[in-house]
Amino acid sequence: MSGGRRRIHVACMIIIVLLYVISVPWYRDVDQPLQVWLGLPDWVAVALLCYVGVAIVNGVAWSVAEVSDESDDSGEPR
């Protein structure tokens, strides 16, 4: 993988980890009133939006990854 593609791939992996951390509702106080966003409790809406973001960023990460379908003489993938 070239240097630029590698940096994009690593950046995507960091963004995915951050989105997973944000999706956990530990930032909420126990007595915080419930708000409704998009017809869902706010913490559920945030988690779902983070998971959609993970899917999009994962697609970007795979689009810059170089995957070889070639195999060597032994039949094993490289």
H/E element holding 5?
helix 3-23
Backbone angles phi, psi at 37, to 5 degrees: -125, 135
H/E element holding 54?
helix 42-64
Amino acid, single-letter form, for residue 13 = M
Q: Say how many Å lie between the first and final Cα of the chain, rounded.
A: 14
Q: Tokens at residue 30, please?
A: 């126990």
Q: Which pLDDT score is estimated for 24?
A: 92
* Predicted confidence pLDDT, tens digits, the chain (78 residues): 678 888 999 999 999 999 999 999 888 888 888 899 889 998 899 999 999 999 999 999 999 887 777 766 666 655
